[in-house]
Amino acid sequence: MNNAPDLLRLADQCVKCGYCLPVCPTFLHTPNEAESPRGRVALIQGWLTGALEPTAPLQLHLDHCLLCRACERACPSLVQFGQLMDGARALQIKTQPRWRAVFMQLGLTLLTQTRGLLLITAAARVYQWGLHWTRRDADVPIAAQSSWAVLRQLTWYLQWPINPPCPPFTKGGNKVDSFTTGGDAVNSFAKMGDVIGVFATGGDAVNSFTKAEDETSAFTKAKNKKIGALLKEKSPPALFLGCVARVTENETATALIQVLQSLEIDYCIPTAQGCCGALLRHHGYPDAADRVLKRTAATLRDAPVIIGYASACVAELRSHAQLNAVESCRFLINTPALKTAHLRPLAARVLVHEPCSQHWLGDPQAAYQLLQLIPELVVQSLPDNGHCCGAAGTHFLQFPSAAAAMASAKIAAIRELKPDYVVTTNTGCALHLNMQLQASGLAIRVVHPVVLLAMCLLSLNDKLHGRSFNQFTLVGGNHFY
């Protein structure tokens, strides 16, 4: 829906009641009526009817929207605000000069490809060196310093040159003890690149997993092929790696694979998969998003279920490709094998951050239910979960000062409660919160719930040898096609 008449019909459903105002992060941050859902609906109506000119301030008010869609849950008229904003941004792009629209699309395309992300990392580091050697750090405007701070911190997560993925809790084949001791998990963000790593590029993005040591044949062929109704098909579930998540969440991908192997659940990783198209769609390029998603969906169609560990990607696959996609926490909870699995205790406290995308899936409780299976783990909700953290796709890169302000209440709560871990199921939220914690001087890791589960799950091989911890050694079999 990216034509003016359809968007106007959608906007006219809004009765301007104002129930959306208290739940809108941008309105609470300013507060400015033009920064509220009600205000943006009015701006769109004025623009599309010709009553308002598409000035730079008007366009900026629309760009500031996080697309968290909290307003949709509060709206008594059931206005589909996310769809309205996507359509308005698509029309915005059409009004831009051709060169600018192409340039913006190129930047987004780089963000959705492994090589592009690493190229951005290299450019960011060159920029950092240039500022340092020319001693111009103090001359950079405050807004630019804020934007640069995000890029500089992002380089810890996007490492160059490319390194193959490895089990995150092993280094050189030896167990890293700090990862098995709860709150003492590697807190140095300077070493985060060693923890997360990156996937190889292009078609070989995940092939390096196949080189894992074949320590035991117990996992080469999973025996449990009836995981509820979803796994009665002949084909195994497929893992969706995504684009940004593929580079920044190697730790999560490795943990999920270890859990599936430990539970003897077969799986496959289609090597031709790509981006879900969400970044392109939410920035006004629906046609490009559909093309990208179509290619990705073609590689996943045969799977009875697609398991994703980035909730925003799962929501995109489900809503725009009509795929049977499920977030990894919910998949594991519905797995009979997990109910009888042996989990070692983890004496730690964890705060659960609820991404907006987990609410879109209608399943904000999945992470809580999964973590509550771990003995001795204290699971609490992160205060201010009702509001977006400010990550919102690329919002924390485009508007870092505003994004930091929106996360400030959460960071203050983390400082006060002093958890051992913060968990979230969305890639952007994890990056944003990790960066804000680092900037605040808090050495607390933000991880995916599956990472904590993998730390505590005793594999079949562990039980056979009487071991009391999981060493995260990837084993057995070719799970790629």
Residues 193 and 71 in one domain: no
Q: Is residue 159 part of a domain?
A: no
Q: Is residue 150 part of a domain?
A: yes
Site of tokens 């871990």: 421
Residues 39 and 187 in one domain: no
CA–CA distance, 279 with 396 (Å, rounded to integer):
13
Q: For residue 358, what are the contacts with CB-CB under 8 A and spacing of at least 6? A: 311, 327, 364, 366, 367, 425, 426
- Angle, helices 114-133 vs 98-111, to 10°: value is 100
Q: Is residue 162 part of a domain?
A: no
pLDDT for 128: 62
Per-residue CA distances from 481 to 169, 204, 267, 302, 303 (Å): 27, 11, 11, 12, 12
DSSP string covering 53-105: ---HHHHHHHHT-----HHHHH-TT---HHHHHHHHHHHHHHHS-HHHHHHHH
CATH number at 53 reads 1.10.1060.10
Q: Is residue 64 part of a domain?
A: yes
Q: For residue 105, what are the contacts with CB-CB under 8 A and spacing of at least 6? A: 280, 285, 288
Q: Is residue 88 part of a domain?
A: yes
For residue 137, the tally of other CB atoms under 10 A from its CB is 11
* Contact status, residue 128 vs residue 150, Cβ threshold 8 Å: no
Q: For residue 401, what are the contacts with CB-CB under 8 A and spacing of at least 6? A: 143, 146
CA–CA distance, 448 with 350 (Å, rounded to integer):
11
Residues 200 and 320 in one domain: yes
Q: For residue 177, what is the DSSP state?
A: G
* Residue among 214, 199, 173, 291 nearest 254 (CA): 199
Residues 91 and 111 in one domain: no
Residues 73 and 104 in one domain: no
Residues 78 and 190 in one domain: no
Residues 186 and 147 in one domain: no
Report the chain's terminal Cα–Cα distance, integer Å: 36
Site of tokens 């680092």: 438
* Residue among 327, 290, 387 nearest 69 (CA): 387
What's the token pair of residue 67?
Answer: 């697309």
Phi and psi angles of residue 68, each rounded to the nearest 5 degrees, phi first: -75, -25
Residues 116 and 64 in one domain: no
Torsion of the alpha carbons at 90, 95, 99 and 100, rounded to the nearest 10: -70
* Contact status, residue 454 vs residue 472, Cβ threshold 8 Å: yes
| Residue-number span of the structural domain to which 444 is assigned | 170-465
Collect the ranges in the chain with pLDDT lower than 50: 138-146, 148, 155-233, 460-461, 463-481
Residues 186 and 270 in one domain: yes
Q: Is residue 479 part of a domain?
A: no
Phi-psi region of 162 (alpha: psi -120 to 50; beta: other; left: phi over 0): beta
Percentage helix, strand, coil for the chain under 3-state DSSP, each rounded to 5: 55, 5, 40
Q: Is residue 344 part of a domain?
A: yes
CA–CA distance, 153 with 131 (Å, rounded to integer):
15
Distance of CA 278 to the CA centre of its chain: 11
What radius of gyration, in Å, describes the C-alpha atoms of the chain? 22
Q: Is residue 471 part of a domain?
A: no
Residues 200 and 283 in one domain: yes
Residues 234 and 141 in one domain: no
The 10 Å CB-count burial string (b at 16+, else e) for 320-335 is bbebebbbbbbbbbbb
Tally the domains of the chain.
3
Residues 72 and 109 in one domain: no
* Contact status, residue 118 vs residue 198, Cβ threshold 8 Å: yes
pLDDT for 305: 92
For residue 283, the tally of other CB atoms under 10 A from its CB is 25
DSSP string covering 333-383: HT-HHHHT--B-----EEEEP--HHHHHTT-TTHHHHHHTTSTT-EEEEPT
